[in-house]
Every structure is written in structure tokens, then in C-alpha cells.
Structure 1
Amino acid sequence: MSKIEFTGSEVLTAHLPAVEVKKDVYWVGSVHEDIRSFHGYETRDGTSYNAYFIKDEFPTVIDSVKREFAGEFIERIKSVCPLSEIKYVISNHAEYDHASAIPILMKNLDPEVPIVTNKKGQDALVRNYPSLADCKFLILKPKETLTIGKRTLSFLATPLVHWPESQFTYSEYDEILFSMDVFGQHIASGKRFDDEYGWERVKESAIEYYANIVACYRLQTARALKLTAKLGKIDMICCAHGLIIRSHVDEMIKLYQSFTDGSIYRPKVTVVYDTFYHSTEAMARAIQEGAQSIGAEVMRIKASVGGTTQVARHCFDSKATAWGSPTLNSGMHTEVAGVLHYAKGLKILEKKPSVSFGSYGWTPGGTKVMVQELESCKSDVIETIDCNWRPTEEILKRCFDAGIKLGKLALGQELKDEE
């Protein structure tokens, strides 16, 4: 067996110990406090990369961490089990933040230790980490199991939640679901469990996480939930990011069900805009006041301040939206264009009514491009309001009335023909 090999960039000190989450089941992951961007998603609270170890007759590692944290990941495993005793390494997801430390781990294990995954998982691992081509693989199909002693692990294919090879691992003995990215949150904390950190904070982070990463895979997520319901009892969810769920398992599963069936949607209007000289901002405020005047909840977000993460989070659970931009080079403000494109990819505007609005100087054009993009998002654009230079009282009244329309639709009220 070779010595532990590092590239020099990994964190070598285990600042946090391995944490026993249930008898002989340990968290051996890492915490990344200072990360603030996760492929376009603003991680204001950092994140964690959760990996797990099961001590049984055949000691088993489940997932790994981001390569930079390979040192502390391996040290945590060693604190509960010699590396020479490990018999299996399970990979539920091949993405860099959960699998890039696997090559380093495998170099320090017996060559006969296999990576347990599915066929697509093997393909993704070898393509992303070529050194793994020399490793042994144990390819398991859905409904096949792996006995590691008194525990028999089962595997649940969850393709496109959110990569093609994604899967869950379930330990009936421990009543633990190792859920990969599903049910996760981007939180960096010295706490490991939902009840230690606070359920409401975990819940809000889980909503933001789903809205920004998984929302476009709603149908696939719904299928995964149906399959999960057929498993045995789930007493704990060991997800790949954030806090382990042990006190609010039913609440977390119900929260995800609300994501997929639409019951998460609120009587809420999200107004997204940006502005050069406050004209479009004045229109945005008028729309906000109109919706609020009839009791709708409103979230107004300046795109260049709130950014893609907050826009996605609030558009996700809103029943209606409004989009405003001044005309720039016959098109949209760059910040608005960026967040609208981001929302389009997440499919969070589909079948939701919207209003487009904005000011222009020499010639209009911004709202026309915006309407085209909203329609490509499958949003129902009910009104467009253009303003030449600064908004008049008449324009602001139109915006206020448009806000009323959106508010009514968000509240589930029908619009009259004259509206």
C-alpha cells in the first residue's frame, strides 16, 4: 500500500473530528466556510461537502469531498478506521465537489477495493478523473444490494437529480438515506444536525438550494420522491451538503413534495428590475404598491444587487412576476438579461403570469426583447408598459394597475374582461 499522496493544495489538518451520526456511522466530510460562489449560485453561508463512513464487517466509505479537502477527509476516516481495512467506496454522484477526492483516496487503499456505483457513474468518474480507469468497479443496478456485514445497502437510481448518474444509498439497518445532493443546503457550520442549527434556517436554505440547482428537474425529483416512499423507514437523511436531517425528516420530505407539486407557491409577486436613472425603478415601485394594495406579498429585487441567487429563490415560490429594464443598445440591461436567462434555465417562470416594463430614451426595444425572453420561458406576459424617458403620472398609474392584476392572479382571483 502506498503512502498518502497529496498535490500540495489540499487541506492537511482535520479541524473537525469525525462525527458519529448513528452507531458506527460517521460523518467524515469537510466544511468550506469561505466559498461564496458555487457555479453561479451565491453561497453566502459557505457550504459543506458531506461524506460518510460505515464501520461494519466490510468498512465502507460513501462519497468523498472536494479535492482541496482530501487531506482532512482521509484523516477523519483514519481516526475511526485504518485505511487498510476499508473494503468498499460508494460513489453516489460524480461531480467534483463530491468525487474529486476519490482518486486520492483510492491511491491509498488496497488495489482490490472497488468503487461501487452504477454504469453511468463509472463512465462519469473515469471521464472526470482518468486515474480511476485503473481502479476496480462494482457496478450495481437498481434493486441490487450490497451486504457489508449486518447491514445490507440498497441503491436507488435518481437520474438527473441532478446529474445522469445520481443515485441514493439506503441502509435499512440504520434507517438512513444517503441522499446525495437532494435535501441539501449550502451551509458551513460546526454543527452537523438540523436540530442543532435550527430548522427554520435549514428550511430556508433548502428552498434556496432547490430553486437554484434542482428546480429544472422537477419531474425527475417527483419520481425520486415516489421511489423513496417505497423504501423502509427513514429516520435520518444524510445529504451531501449542509446539515444532516434527523429531527425534521418528514418535514423535509414534505417540503420537497411541495416543490414538485407546486404547493410551495405563495400569493406572492416578485418584481425584478434594474435602472440607470431611476425611471424604471419608479415603475417597479408602482407595480409593487399596486400588488400590495390588494394584499399580495411582494418581493422587489434590483438585479445588480440581489443577483441571480435571490431572484431565483423568490421567483421560484411566487405565483406571478414582473420584469423591468431600461433599453440598452436596443436590448435589456445586462444585469436583467443575465438573471432572466438564469431563471429560464431553471424553468421557474413556466405557466406564471408576468408583466414587462421599462423606460427608453431615443428608441424603445428593451421590453420587446424582454417579452421574447419571457415567452421563451413559457411565462404568460399579460401586459407590457413602455415609458419614454421619465414616467408620467399616467404611466405610474398603469404600473400600479398592472401590479393589481398580478396581485389578483397571485391571490387566485380571476381578472375581469376590462382588466
Structure 2
Amino acid sequence: MTLMLASVLSPAEADAAVERGADIIDCKDPSRGALGALPLAEVSRIVEAVRGRRPVSAVVELPHDVTHARDAIEAAADAGAAFVKFALPLTPDAEEIIAELAPVAARRRLVAVLFADLGPDFGVLDRLAEAGFEGAMLDTAHKGKGRLLDAMSVGVLAEFVGRCRALKLTAGLAGSLESPDVPRLLVMAPDVLGFRGALCAEGERRNALSASAVSLIRDLIPRGAPSAAEPGDHAGEVDHVFVRDLVMPMEIGAYGFERGHTQRVRFSVEVEVFRTSGPDDMRMVFSYDVVMDAIKIILASGHIELVETIAERLAESILLHERARAVTVEVEKLDVVPPASVGVRIRRARPASVAAFAAGSSVSSL
């Protein structure tokens, strides 16, 4: 399950975020840059306002001196922060800093933040896991110059989440995320999605939190079991969302001569989506970006021998989306016997019990 992290700068904002369903309350000062720390006194006031209803994280601006860094982390934890976040420096001594913080990581839940737009080395994740860190988060350093998905492709983001999962590190994604980004990132199943600007009035991270904006993001991130559609006048009806004739180069084939170079593969995907009634906003949309991102993630995974494997993986990924009832996937190799194509078409559907739940036929909306 993916958790929603809301960055706040005051007790009032923290209380509002809790009331509207944020899973983690993050203390951060947006006026001080991408990862600006609030004064410890303000962190304490936010912890008091939350009253244990949610875990609280706090940003620490890591001093260059490791001894001072340890003291700053301990002080933030003593102020009530369950998690302490800091930007991992892009310096040659980064691994030494991680090793020096290992004793602190044994007592405190530390999260290292890597900046996607500064070319981070994912090799550092191994060092974080060895040192006992709680997790790692990708963010963007230069706010206003693009979103996380502008800085890194979905394939690279999926690699980050996968490596964190393999190392038993909590994986977080943040960085000027907007509401249309949420369903695209949920395909990767990160542990945490972090937000500030998307929760604020007019999408400006220095503005106050907007109740409607927080509610929108909250509604886009499923909590536990799939949420049911509004029954309304459209119960049982489906829409069809499709991507047709998307040609992508990839390494595919079971023969030895097919390795080491790419072939053209054509994808056609049609998703049967539960129709919902309600306002015309992002909560009602199944985006074709979800389909295209799922394809890109599979392509980024490396050589695959069989088109059947691609089709099965793609169908499985799309059916993770709560509103997808069934999916038809067609995968064709175009370079085997041109101008003809060869491939496979499959249709996969949710189990009947899950489909009924998502269609709202047996439960009311959450």
C-alpha cells in the first residue's frame, strides 16, 4: 500500500492534513528551498497538534561536520519526529557520512533524500541498507524547473523502487508531483508519495494548504482494499481506454541471434474501466498514461524472451489499478517476417469477487 506524505509548515496545516487523510505529516519549510528545515520549536508544536494520530517526519539540513549532523538528527527525533529526512550530499565523502551515521540509524529512523535532477547514483542505496537506514526518497532540487517525471523516466523510477524493495528500504517518491502523476506512479507501488505544491492553493508550494487539493490527492491514492465506484446511474457500465499501434524498440527473443540488439515491437492495449458518476476531475479518470508507463517499465527491465511474457506482465500491471475490470493486450514483433507481424493477444480480467467490489455492486463508496 502506498502512503500519502503531506509536507506542512505549521500546526494548523498539520491538523488540516490529518483531518483530510494524509498518512504521514512532514515538517518542512518551503521558503528555504527543496528541503528546508523548520525550527525545532515549530516541529515540537506540529507533533503536539498531531497528537499521535499520524507519524511525523522532520527535515534536517545536514551540517558538513558529521558530529554536528548526528546532533541535529538526534534533536529532531527528540522533538518528536518518528522519521528524520535529510539530503544526502553529492560529495566524494557521502559513503563515509553514511557509515558515520550508522550508529544513529540503529536508534532513529533515517531517510536519505536523493535529488533526481542532480544525477544520483543508485549504488548508494546498498550503503544505506548496510548502515541500517529506514529508507530513501527521490525528490527534485530545483522546484519550478520540472516535476520528478521530467527528471527521470518511469523505467528509472521503477528501478529505484525495485532496488529499495530488494534492499528492504522504504521507497519514497516526491518532487513537484501533480495529481495526474499519482496513477502513473502508483503502478510502481512506492511505499510513500510526497506532496507539497499539489496540496496548496493554486499549486504554489509557498501558499497555504487547500482543503480541496489535499482531498483530491488523498482520493487518488487507494487505502487498503480497492475503493468502490459511485453506484449512481452508471453502475455496471464500463468505458474503454486504449493505446493502439504503439511501436517501441526493445530486446526480445529466445534465439541467440536476437540478443544484443533491439527489434520493433507493436503494442495495442484496451482496458475495460468501471464507469463512475461524479464531478469531472482526476478522481474519475483512468489515464492512458498508466498503460504507456507500464509498457515503458517492462521495456526498461531488459531482455525478455517471449512476447507472451510481455503480455502477461503488462496485463498484470494494469489490473493493479482499482478501476480496471479487464484488459486486452496485443504484442507483435514486426521484424521477424516483414511486412507481416507475429505475436500474441490475451485478455485478462479481475476475479469476479474483486470486480463486483470495485463496481460498487456490493458495498457503498468509501
| TM-score using structure 1 length | 0.31
| TM-score using structure 2 length | 0.34
Q: Which has the higher contact order (CA 8 A, sep 6+)?
A: 2
Asked which structure has the greater CA Rg, the reply is 1
